Amino acid sequence: MIKKILMIVLVSCSLFAYDATVEIVKKMDKLPKIALQDASESSVDLSFRKKFFKILVGDLRVSSHFNVVDEYLQSSYKGNLEENFLNELNLDLILRYRILFEYDGIVIAEVKVINAKTGQVDSERTYKISKHNRYPLLAHNIAVELNAKIGAPSIKWMDQYVIFAKYIGSKKSEIIISDYTLSFQQTVVKGGLNIFPKWANKAQNAFYYTSYNGNKPTLYKVDVRSGKRKRILSSPGMLVCSDVSADGDKLLLTMAPNDQADIYVYDINRKNLEKITSYSGIDVNGNFIDNDKRVVFVSDRLGYPNIFAQQIGSRSVEQMVYHGKNNNSVSAIDNYIVYSSREKSSEFGPKTFNLYLISTKTDYIRQLTATGKNLYPRFADDSETIMFIKYYNNQSALGLIRLNANKSYHFPLKVGKIQSIDW
């Protein structure tokens, strides 16, 4: 029984300096200073306008590519000499927008980008989203395109959906799709214990999750648009999909059919299950690395949880981390690995878990957090952004680390507790 509990805990929990692990060279000598102007009509609710402004300002700040003016400014949409220059702020850019509502909850944002040095409109575009409650995604889309316009490194990850499991009571959890700030949330699976969601592909039009509502843990695939659910397979003990190959054809599973957790590869098309690890202890939380040819995972084969890698088709296992005595969750992209490690109580306080970054091509270790309980890290597609779960004061939040900017952000979940995430 203790062994089963440890397996589930390991899967569930799955200060910056320059180094060679992640480096992004920006094209700008200095960050452009930008202010936002709300040109919406008075008929648009002011509280909504300020919520939209707050999210858009936050997006530009989180991008780390703008010097953002915090002040909420209003203007006409056409603009005048004062509104087009705002000389007292010494700006480079002005982002002016107005919000409109159409039938059936459609939200429209008409947006101008103004060169504050010349007062001229550089570009103008209309953005639209079909449902009122999805307005945060409208703001994210504006930020992503403005960021691309100035030639900054991509922040396309802001357009990605986050999927997470949320505990709401004893043996009760729901699967939620949200934006990265948790401002938009939609429940897609509810009823019973549903955990470990994982996107099925980069298009994010389907996902996997594990249901613990039957006689055996069962892995399901759900079509986001239709909501239709398809059973993939079941296994006694435990069953978790921890990663999906780049082409979407193969799943990395943690299974314990005989009370021993190992890593398996499941071929979706051939419906073939291949056992990767074979160890008398615990191997969990597998992630593809090196073009899906190797697997990095958590194992207790040293007597404590640590990070290892194994070539698919080989029995040779390589230790990846030589720091810490409780490294219990891991994520990987390309040649980069981020993992969570429990610290000694005397150094960081009780029950402190910090995140660390390593490369499979260097020996450098980069510490990413300094305090608190930071678990279950997940990379964005750009290798520069990491999302994770942060627990504090019996609450949980989505944490976000911008590696190149040496900044982190937290977006608290107001109701329930986050169990696992993917994006």
Question: If you count them, how many residues does the chain have?
Answer: 423
Q: Helix or strand or coil: residue 145?
A: helix
Q: Tens digits of per-residue pLDDT, 2-45?
A: 444 445 444 544 423 333 333 333 444 689 999 999 999 999 99
**155/146 Cα distance (integer angstroms):** 10
CB 97 within 8 A of CB 112: yes
Picking from 75, 63, 79, 70, the residue whose alpha carbon sits closest to that of residue 34 is 70
Domains of the chain with CATH codes: 2-23+156-422 (2.120.10.30), 33-149 (3.40.50.10070)
pLDDT over threshold 90, residue 211 = yes
The reported pLDDT for the residue numbered 29 is 60
Residue 347 is given by DSSP the state: H
Quick one: pLDDT at residue 382?
Answer: 78
How far is it, in rounded angstroms, from Cα 209 to Cα 195? 6
pLDDT score at 105:
85
pLDDT > 70? residue 160: yes
Which pLDDT score is estimated for 350? 61
- Per-residue pLDDT at 187 exceeds 60: yes
What DSSP element (H or E) covers 231?
strand 229-234
Least reliable range by pLDDT among 59-68, 141-150, 241-250, 363-372 = 363-372
The Cα 116–Cα 165 span in angstroms is: 44
Q: How high does pLDDT run on average in the chain?
A: 90
- The answer to which of 315-319, 354-358, 391-395 has the lowest mean pLDDT is 391-395
Q: Per-residue pLDDT tens for 321-338?
A: 888 888 989 998 877 889
Q: Are the C-beta atoms of 341 and 320 separated by less than 8 Å?
A: no
> How far are the Cα atoms of 14, 30, 145, 423 from residue 152, in angstroms, in the given order?
32, 11, 10, 22
Q: pLDDT, tens digit, for every residue of 78-97?
A: 999 999 999 999 999 999 99
Tens of pLDDT, residue by residue over 214-259, are 889 999 999 999 999 999 999 998 999 999 999 999 999 999 998 8
Q: Centre a 10 Å sphere on the Cβ of residue 215 and count the other Cβ atoms it contains.
A: 7
Which residues lie below 8 Å from residue 186, measured CB to CB, with a gap of 6+? 133, 176, 177, 178
Nearest to 281, CA basis, from 61, 2, 3:
3
Side chain identity, residue 116:
A
When computed from its CA atoms, the radius of gyration of the chain, rounded to whole angstroms, is 23
According to the model, what pLDDT value does residue 354 have?
94
pLDDT in tens, 265-290: 999 999 999 999 999 889 999 999 88
Task: Supply the DSSP string of 65-120, one letter for each residue.
Answer: S-EE--S-EE--SS--HHHHH-GGG--SEEEEEEEEE-GGG-EEEEEEEEETTTTE
| Neighbouring residues of 238: CB distance < 8 A, sequence distance ≥ 6 | 4, 7, 8, 11, 217, 254, 255, 256, 261
For residue 224, what pLDDT is reported? 97
Q: How many CB atoms lie within 10 A of CB 384?
A: 21
Percentage of the residues of the chain whose pLDDT score is greater than 70: 92
What pLDDT is attached to residue 349? 58
Over the stretch 40-80, which tens digit does the pLDDT of each residue have? 999 999 999 999 999 999 999 999 999 999 999 999 999 99
* Predicted local distance difference test score (pLDDT) of residue 347: 53
Q: What order of strands is seen across the sheet that includes strand 306-311?
A: 283-289, 294-299, 306-311, 317-319
